[in-house]
A and B are shown apart, each in its own frame.
Chain A
Amino acid sequence: MDAVLSGLATGFSVALDPFNLMLVLVGCFVGTLIGALPGLGPINGVAILLPIAYGLGFQPEAALILLAGIYYGAEYGGRISSILLNVPGDAGAVMTTLDGNPLARAGQAGRALSLSAVASFVGGTFAVILMSLFAPALAGFAVTFGPADYVALMVFAFASLASLVGKSTVKTLLGATIGLMLATIGIDANTGVPRYTFGIPDILAGIDFLIVVVGLFGMAELLTLVEQQARGTLKSLPVDRSFVTMADLAKSKWTIARSSVIGFFIGILPGTGASVASAVAYGTEKRISDTEGTFGKGDVRGLAAPEAANNAAAGGSMVPMLTLGIPGSGTTAILLGALLMFNIQPGPTMFTQRPEVAWGLVASMYIGNVALLVINLPLVGLFARMLTIPQHYLTPLIAVLAFIGIYTIVGNPHDLFMITMLGVFGWFLRKLDFSLAPIILGFVLGGLFEDNLRRALSISGGDWSILVSNWKSILLYVLALFVVVLPIWLARRARGNAMQDAESH
């Protein structure tokens, strides 16, 4: 407990530095803007702005604070387009449309927006508090992990990714493998042997992380926007003067509490972020509270549940990133890549070796949550006006931003071609129901996965049984099996129940 308090003290001294404080506010504001834009979610926002943030030459903790602010700001802002347009900014905001949009159509847009802001705030703050309690303890435990345990941890991460993310397990697994394969390009650090470089000097050091991220998320998103452009325009509902009432809060307080817990713990699972969390929270809440069948028709609880959960998940997904070096979601995978660019290896030692970064980030999340609530309640009308920016101006701007970012960092016009081609590749993948987050996770974790596997086998002299020689790794393999089998079993059981129902009728 003392460690937590002194850590928080360090963190707040970093985060309350006037410059960093300004970055928190700027990040939250920009993030909310990006989240509010239809079609753009946290992951695209962080991907497009990461190179620019890096190019500004800030201290690592300052850059990370800015990016994290954009991340949860966008998680907040996503609800605005969900509620007013019925167009979710990203997968995490899909569930918000179910009850949020009916409320807005019933002329209660202001009430829906303010209630969801409060739910987001509670979910986010709850997650940060749990994070500051759990993260140091988890990091302390993770220090005892050996290479074999890390291999098991990666297997667990990819297993939960494959089973919980995306529509098809095989496609998610393939996506992660593509990411891992991309990560093998470049000179092998252990032996100095070049792999898949084909004599091209530009990729001897590996494909630049920024290029993969901006290409797959920024440019692919742009092409998706171009594609959808031809299919009609969006209409925004007006923001009225209605506001959340105490009765609404009283009605939804347990919903918010339950959903925050669900969101946080699902967020911790490697690879599964806000989208899974909000879906599970909405489903659970519907089962528990939907006695009158009002869910989906503008029930305040149906709105509060996914919003509390997706913000709690954003906090939760930071936990494995900071303590284990394994990102909890696609967006935290990008943040992890950002840390690596600053030569900071996220992992169990980060809390002790770079406390100003780890704790500064945690403290900035406390401040950010409060700031988001404060700027979201009065300024929601301003953000809502962003929705009326026509797509034909927004789409070129994404390309301009992406180009600025990549050119600033890499300074090489060939990389501009690379991001365009990767964007085309990413667009095809999305069109074919691949989710892109596993690719970036695989790409970020590739080096770590391979190194630990090789190190473990070096320790054992080539004996593969070292991978299962420890209770920690065995436990992780069992958990991995569990996350793969459980959803299949649940689906079977649900189908079995449905069949029985059909027979009994």
Chain B
Amino acid sequence: MADRIFAAVLLAVTIGYAVIAFTVIRAPFQYDPLGPESWPRILSIVAILCLLYILWKPDAIGFDMTRQVWFRLGAAVVLLLAYSDLYEPLGFILSTILFATIMALMLGAPRLRAVGFGIAAGVFGWLLCVTLMDLNLPEGALYEAVDDSFQQTEEEGAS
């Protein structure tokens, strides 16, 4: 059943892909026998044939997962999305401390250790990547604001 639902969703997407390939994509002028639309057309036909086969003869796969596992997975995805959202505003260190702590707690780590792990991941990650390997990571709006005002006062003091 899961197979059929997934194939049906993919089929809808592929049909959209095919419609665009057959109607929208067109080169204003071209000398080659195959234009930009031919290859997507071929691919969409192959994909639709494969999907029809899966719809016709799906594998018997059930998502044998308890509600608890679904919840855990959903929570993990939400956490990841929140992490992506806060990555720049909070900066690498703070967002990583939060994410790693909450994720470890959710996956069953003891409370204090999870916090320790989170702080270690954030601080050592920053030291390792930025200080040692010179990679580019977000400092965070908070740090930047503090940094800016600090520089401003410094400039004022100089003038």
Chain A residues within CB distance 8 Å of chain B: 52, 55-56, 167-168, 170-171, 173-174, 177-178, 180-181, 184, 188, 190-191, 193, 195-196, 219, 222-223, 226-227, 229-231, 390-393, 395-397, 399-400, 403-404, 407-408, 411, 413, 416-417, 420, 423-424, 427-428, 431-433, 450, 453-454, 457-458, 461-462
Contact = CB atoms under 8 A, between A and B. Distances in A.
B47 A453 contact: no
Contacts of A403: 83-84, 87
A184 B39 contact: yes
Given A177-B47, A190-B36, A407 B27 contact: no
Question: Main SS of the interface on chain B?
Answer: helix
Nearest to A460: B33
B53 A170 contact: yes
A21 to B, nearest CB: 19
Contact of B43 (A180, A230, A416): A180
Nearest to B76: A226
Contact of B104 (A173, A222, A396, A453): A396
Contacts of B115: none
Nearest to A402: B80
A171 B104 contact: no
A188 B28 CA distance: 13
Interface of B: 2-3, 6, 10, 14, 17, 20, 25-28, 30-36, 38-40, 43-44, 46-47, 50-51, 53-54, 59, 61, 63, 65-66, 68-69, 72-73, 76-77, 80-81, 83-85, 87-88, 92, 96, 99-100, 103-104, 107-109, 114, 117, 121, 125, 129, 133-138
18 contacts: A177-B46, A178-B47, A181-B14, A181-B43, A184-B43, A195-B25, A195-B36, A196-B40, A223-B77, A226-B107, A407-B137, A408-B129, A417-B85, A420-B80, A433-B59, A453-B34, A454-B39, A458-B32
Given A190-B36, A193-B25, A393-B109, 7 more contacts: A396-B100, A396-B104, A397-B100, A399-B103, A432-B2, A432-B6, A458-B33
A454 B35 CA distance: 8
Contacts of A411: 136
Contact of A56 (B17, B72, B83, B133): B133
Contact of A230 (B26, B35, B68): B68
B108 A392 contact: yes
Contact of B50 (A177, A404, A427): A177
B125 A454 contact: no
Contacts of B32: 190, 454, 457-458
B34 A454 contact: yes
A462 B38 CA distance: 12
Contacts of B26: 193
A363 B82 CA distance: 44
Contacts of B76: 222-223, 226
A223 B84 contact: no
Contacts of B81: 417, 420
Given A223-B76, A407-B137, A417-B84, A171 B99 contact: no
Contacts of B83: 399, 403, 416
A173 B34 CA distance: 23
B6 to A, nearest CB: 6
Contacts of A420: 77, 80-81, 84
A299 B26 CA distance: 62
A75 B76 CA distance: 29
Contacts of B27: 188, 191, 193
B63 A431 contact: yes
Given A184-B43, A431-B63, A450-B39, A227 B69 contact: yes
B61 A431 contact: yes
Nearest to A395: B107
Nearest to A181: B43
A288 B7 CA distance: 42
A174 B65 contact: no
Contacts of A56: 133-135
